[in-house]
Structure 1
């Protein structure tokens, strides 16, 4: 499928987030409506019905205070008995006003009842309380005749009945408001729980969708890339998913195809190199041997018959042919490292170094050199190649010595999963700025007439060490002499 027909990951992500926002907004809106209903129910109970009930009780108490005050004044004619009456009158007015203000907005019919109670209270005072008070004050003594008591009781009972009816209605309203408040609170609780569950489900769904459209394709792409990077360049990378993932997979597959072409080209190049090596080892060396042999024959046969310059020319020809042979042999050895592989076996480096020292016995004896070696470990590799590394490093130490007899010291220590070897000498040393140059093929720091060699030895050492999974470098932390260090992997199935 063409990647251009697929949605990009950004669009998929935006769609997922949009759905999440819409659902959450709807859920939050529902919770907001429920919370508003909860607020209204709480306001009705606590700010309207509840205060109205309290004011109705205050009104009833104020009326009782007035009735008691009038009765006491009528029986004793003492003015202080009118204090409860006056206080009750003021309390009645405040209670009526507050009760009406609290209930008028939600129950206008109850506000009318409050007005009715107010009219009945005024009627009771006009028909009984004010008459009794006026009569006692006029007589200046208690009233012996209580003829108006029945009439006053009838009026007062009417007021009390109306107040009682108002209290019962307010009690019912309070119970209904409390029940409504509890119901709305339960609704809010259920909505909050549902919102939490919904959010969990949405997040899980979005995570599953993202895993399916993003993580899973990327994981599959990574697995195929690892398969290709492990050497299976024939495996075509095929991936599905959003547009970016498919495009990335196509780019990786295009890179795989280019690598495959490069590998094929490298194989052809290696084949040509092998052919060159064959020609160099046979067709080139045969003429060189003839040149060197005939030059030596000329030198022996016509020795003394040629002048000094002629003999010098013959020596130059012989020396050039021999050096060319050495150079070709070194090039062949360098090209074969890592290309003509053999099975890695356990190599006892003690034996390897002993063979190297035996091959340099003449040089060691002639120079009076001292070579100190420790007990070396056993590693896995090719013995001939590892012997070449020690041979090059020890040979260079013997070659580039100072005025006194050379002293070479080999050391080894284990650092984690690697052996670290050190070859140190007290020779002429190498400047730190040449620490990398010396490992480049044909890079020489001295003229061939001063120190013979082809300039391939250290490059060969690096190639061999890297082929065995290690590294080699020049340790520049010493003032005198030269110190080379290299590492080799520890072989777990061998003993030190």
Structure 2
């Protein structure tokens, strides 16, 4: 049975990868062993170096005391104390280096005790009166101690030298085998790739005869796909009346064209119904707001009459209740206005106009920012075609909130802008009290506010309107803030 081209390619590459994997594993293992024995050799050399340094420092310490006794100069004692102090570092290093060798650990412990005894011994001689005879007696008396130290150091070095020879032999072996393994892997890879190249080339030549037929089919398919893409583009632009004509072939594209025609007809019907529902919603919002406001104003007027005409007869508690009632009525009116604004946010189809954002921000600042606040614009603000009303409403709400919720009578608002490709990224930053991270998502939900609900100004709708407008523009908005570190609202607006 003749195998297909893709099957041959898969089998060939599978074989190549298997061989490469095996040879690469061998090379990797060889490299790992080489690296291991190289570290072991370095480890042994470090042990030898530290033992050599230790022996030198002990000998220098004895020489320092002997020279002091011979010459009577106390400056010769400095290498004595410095040498033993420095030997502690050698002991600490050796302790780490031979921790995996119990025999060497035992020798190191013995060596540490002998060195401590030698230090006490030499310190006692360093306090004697200097003279050549004292120096001679020191050399004679210390001969046994030095011989003991030398024997322990010699055993340690002998053990490490044996290890060094073994490890260097292994290192030499893997130094020689590692390049061979790498070369073998490379040669095998080249041979297998060349063989695959020849096999695939032969198969591709056989397949070239199919290209003419495929080109004809592709041209016809491309023509029909172009028709379908044109219909899809027009649907995206809002034209739901478009239809595909003369597409009666009974194949997948023909069935797709028929389905698209049915889809555009359904979309047209649904869009017309949606427009009617939106009109009804606008009318309902207006009527609801108007009908709710009329009795609301009546109740507010009655409360005012009571306060004006019965001021002398009202107790302090009754006056407090009336004040609370007025606060609730004001809040209810704000909620009605906010709901009406939220229902209509982003619904008006504004024609794009050229907007100078710098001038727009200045106009908004004049309307909502008091004189005791500063508005800074460190970045150049762009001029581009967009929905002026929506952008103005976003800046109005964000800058108004920066003033309204500021914890100080004065403050600074900074407006920044960066070009991020298809959008502009605007930043509205203040130096107010900040917002805790757990509320960063909550503040964009309708009726969600971080202020007391009895505060008439805080309806929890303003940021919901901002987010709705930005969502209609296919932009994004998020907040960057922490308590006592100010707040920055970052939103993107398409160019």
Q: Which aligned pairs between 1:356-375 and structure 2 lie closer than 5 A? A: 356-362=364-370, 365=372, 369-374=373-378
Q: Which has the larger radius of gyration?
A: 1
* Rounded Cα–Cα distance in structure 2 between residues aligned with 1:225 and 1:454: 42
Change (3 A) 1:478 1:201: farther
**Paired residue for 1:56?**
none
The equivalences for 1:286-435 within 5 A come to 286-362=294-370, 365=372, 369-374=373-378, 376-402=381-407, 405-435=410-440
Partner of residue 443, structure 2: 438
Partner SS, residue 484 of structure 1 = strand
Map of 1:229 onto structure 2: 236
1:480 match: secondary structure:
coil
How far does the alpha carbon of each residue in 1:144-183 deviate from its partner, in whole angstroms, 9 at most, with x for none?
xxxxxxxxxxxxxxxxxxxxxxxxxxxxxxxxxxxxxxxx
Structure 2 regions of 5+ residues with no counterpart?
A: 5-203
Q: Which range is displaced more, 455-464 or 231-240?
A: 231-240
Out of 459, 466, 470, the position equivalent to 1:461 is 466
Matches within 5 A, 1:99-138: none
* Separation (CA, whole Å) in 1 of partners of 2:359 and 2:477: 21
Contact kept, 8 Å, 1:372 with 1:410, in 2: the verdict is yes
Quick one: distance in 2 between partners of 1:266 and 1:300?
50
How far apart are 1:299 and its partner, in Å? 1.4
Matched, 1:279 2:283: no
Query: Does structure 2 retain, via aligned residues, the 8 Å contact 1:402–1:426?
Result: no
Structure 1 residues 440 and 197 mapped into 2: Cα distance closer, same or farther (>3 Å)?
closer
The answer for the alignment partner of 2:485 in structure 1 is: 480
**Do the aligned partners of 1:225 and 1:237 also contact (CA within 8 Å) in 2?**
no
Distance 1:221 1:310 in 2: 73
Distance 1:345 1:234 in 2: 28
CA 1:255–1:382: 2 relative to 1, 3 Å: closer
Asked if the contact 2:355–2:386 (Cα under 8 Å) also holds between the matched residues in 1, the reply is yes
* Cα deviation, residue 484, structure 1: 1.0
Cα separation, 2, equivalents of 1:267 and 1:328: 24
Do the aligned partners of 1:379 and 1:489 also contact (CA within 8 Å) in 2?
A: no
**Alignment TM-score, normalising by the size of structure 2:** 0.51
Is contact 2:241–2:268 with CA below 8 Å preserved after alignment? yes
What SS does the aligned partner of 2:355 have?
Answer: strand
SS at structure 2 position matched to 1:304: helix
Provide, for residues 110-140 of structure 1, a one-character-per-residue CA deviation record: whole Å limited to 9, x for no partner. Answer: xxxxxxxxxxxxxxxxxxxxxxxxxxxxxxx
Find the counterpart in structure 1 of residue 110 from structure 2.
none
| 1:273, distance to aligned residue in structure 2 (A) | 0.8
The DSSP-based 3-state class of the residue aligned with 2:308 is: helix
DSSP-derived class of the 1:475 partner: strand
Distance (Å, rounded) in 1 between the aligned partners of 2:432 and 2:476: 23
Contact 1:224 1:237 in 2 (8 A): yes
Deviation per residue, 1:302-350 (Å, 9 max, x gap) = 1121223432332233222222222222222233333233333233333
Deviation of 1:289 after TM superposition, in Å, equals 1.9
- Report the Cα offset of residue 407 of structure 1: 3.1
1:482 positional shift: 1.3
Distance 1:445 1:404, change over 3 A: same
Asked whether 1:247 is paired with 2:242, we answer no
Matches of 2:455 and 2:226, distance apart in 1: 61
Aligned partners of 1:289 and 1:296: how far apart in 2?
Answer: 10
d(CA) in 2 for partners of 1:222 and 1:436? 39
Aligned counterparts of 2:482 and 2:249: Cα–Cα separation in 1: 54
Structure 1, residues 79-100: CA drift from partner, whole Å, max 9, x if none? xxxxxxxxxxxxxxxxxxxxxx
Question: 1:163-218 CA deviation, whole Å, 9 max, x = no partner?
Answer: xxxxxxxxxxxxxxxxxxxxxxxxxxxxxxxxx99986753134314543x44433
**Preserved CA contact (<8 Å) 2:327 2:456:** no
Distance of aligned partners of 1:241 and 1:444 in 2 relative to their CA distance in 1, 3 Å threshold: farther
Q: What 5-or-longer segments of structure 1 have no aligned partner?
A: 1-16, 18-195, 491-496
Residues 360, 208 of structure 1: CA spacing in aligned structure 2 closer, same or farther, 3 A cutoff? closer
Contact 2:435–2:487 (Cα < 8 Å) also in 1: yes
Cα deviation, 1:241-273, whole Å, max 9, x if unaligned, reads 343333333443443344334323311210211
Question: How far apart are the structure 1 equivalents of 2:210 and 2:421?
Answer: 49
Equivalent pairs counted in the alignment come to: 291
Secondary structure, counterpart of 2:232 in structure 1: helix
